Amino acid sequence: MNILGIDHIELYVGDAKQAAFYLVTAFGFKVCGQGGPETGLAGQRSLLLRQGEIQIVLTSGLVADHPATEYVRRHGDGVAVIGIGVDDVADAYRELTGRGAESVSAPREYVSTESVSMESGTEQRVVVAEVSGFSDVTHRLVERHGTHREFLPGAIEVTEPDPHSDGKVLRTIDHIAICVPAGGLGPTAGYYVDVFGFKPIFEEYVEVGGQGMDSKVVQSPSQHVTFTLIEPDPRCLPGQIDNFLAWHAGAGVQHVAFGTDDIVKAVRSLGDHGVRFLGTPPGYYDTLEARVGHLDAPLDDLRGLGVLVDRDHWGQLLQIFTESMHVRRTLFLEIIERRGALTFGSGNIKALYEAKNSELSGTTAT
């Protein structure tokens, strides 16, 4: 089984058009396709959004017994499907179910009504199957043939060409962060290692301010699919992970990290279009250069925008988190730029906490 990368994510939402409006106007995505009862998707309405290599499907249930309706009732808006690109769906499906993944739907094929491109003579064909992931999140295996970026021909039809890259600030899905209940970290990580063939690449325990959490990062052999798994430490005070699990009613995707080539440009553009980011205490920047060394971006720009910086053995990582756009305050987004760094900014957790404490006490961290 050859895992190529994250093909797309599908969010189940209460109102697909409303969710699309926000992602288009604030984040610069473009609606490039749609599907519904008229295209054979009974009981649902779906919109396809694209930017760079990122594909997002927004699906709303139109009837009470549709899975999207039930998902939103239980969890609110959130990521329900993570699509994984593979070179052979039938082979991947057999391998995964043979290793213990539950079958959600067997392989099926979608072929364009114009099955051969007039330009290239190449068949426009997509094969998909679905298997279990974690909690209520499933994985859609996707095999694509053809030069045009069809999505699901005959089901979700592409109605607009891919958006031009000019002026677009988001490029790819860097990683997906997943919260699991206490005791769920090991089994969830083990599932992706044993069943999907992922490799554990990083793990740590963080305790700060009386709160604690464990995390493990698993990654596909291609390094193009990365899941950051997080569980709270029940021995410590409850914190944001506990809040997510309570408000989301169980395990789920906490945030999706979008990669960019220029985070300063990206944050300025997104902020100008109404995206609200989590605030950073001013004291965080007083010790930033002492903590991470020479900065790859001007300190004044980072301070003015609230961008965080961390360093590992391989380089620097610049990141910032949005406020959640959902009423339950669950799913949020991360904007990330990697300048060689391979880790995920864990050094920022303690630095932010200490900076906030210094700000509240009226002292400066040293």
pLDDT of residue 363: 47
3-class SS letters over 253-298: EEEEEEECCCHHHHHHHHHHCCCCECCCCHHHHHCHHHHHCCCCCC
The tens digit of pLDDT for each residue in 21-32 reads 999 999 999 999
Which one is predicted more confidently, 155 or 163? 155
Q: Provide the token pair at 128.
A: 């998909």
Q: Is the pLDDT of residue 67 over 80?
A: yes
When mean pLDDT is compared across 218-227, 262-271, 340-349, 353-362, the lowest value belongs to 353-362
When mean pLDDT is compared across 164-173, 199-208, 211-220, 349-358, the lowest value belongs to 349-358
Query: In this structure, are strands 172-179 and 226-232 parallel, antiparallel, or unpaired?
Result: parallel
Structural domains of the chain sorted by starting position, each given as residue range(s) with its CATH number in brackets = 3-158 (3.10.180.10), 172-361 (3.10.180.10)
In the chain, pLDDT over 90 holds for what percent of residues? 81
Q: Rounded mean pLDDT of 101-110?
A: 97
Which one is predicted more confidently, 357 or 304? 304
pLDDT of residue 82: 98
pLDDT of residue 354: 63
User: At 358, is the pLDDT very low, low, confident or very high (cuts 50, 70, 90)?
Assistant: low
pLDDT of residue 364: 44
Q: Is the pLDDT of residue 1 over 60?
A: yes
In the chain, pLDDT over 70 holds for what percent of residues? 92
Q: Rounded mean pLDDT of 122-138?
A: 93
Q: Is the pLDDT of residue 256 over 80?
A: yes
pLDDT of residue 361: 59
Q: Is the pLDDT of residue 90 over 50?
A: yes
Residue 112's identity, in one-letter code, is: S
When mean pLDDT is compared across 1-10, 98-107, 119-128, 286-295, the lowest value belongs to 119-128
Q: Is the pLDDT of residue 117 over 70?
A: no
Q: Is the pLDDT of residue 340 over 60?
A: yes
The tens digit of pLDDT for each residue in 302-331 reads 999 999 999 999 999 999 999 998 899 999
pLDDT of residue 366: 35
The whole-model pTM stands at 0.93
Largest CA distance in the chain: 69
Q: Rounded mean pLDDT of 192-203?
A: 97
Rounded (10°) CA dihedral 278, 7, 252, 312: -50
pLDDT of residue 52: 94
Which one is predicted more confidently, 118 or 334? 334
Euclidean distance between CA atoms 266 and 336, whole angstroms: 10
Q: Is the pLDDT of residue 118 over 60?
A: no
Euclidean distance between CA atoms 167 and 164, whole angstroms: 8
Average pLDDT, the chain: 92
The CA distances from residue 51 to 35, 168, 226, in Å, are 19, 7, 20
When mean pLDDT is compared across 164-178, 184-198, 202-216, the lowest value belongs to 164-178
When mean pLDDT is compared across 110-119, 209-218, 270-279, 318-327, the lowest value belongs to 110-119
pLDDT of residue 3: 97
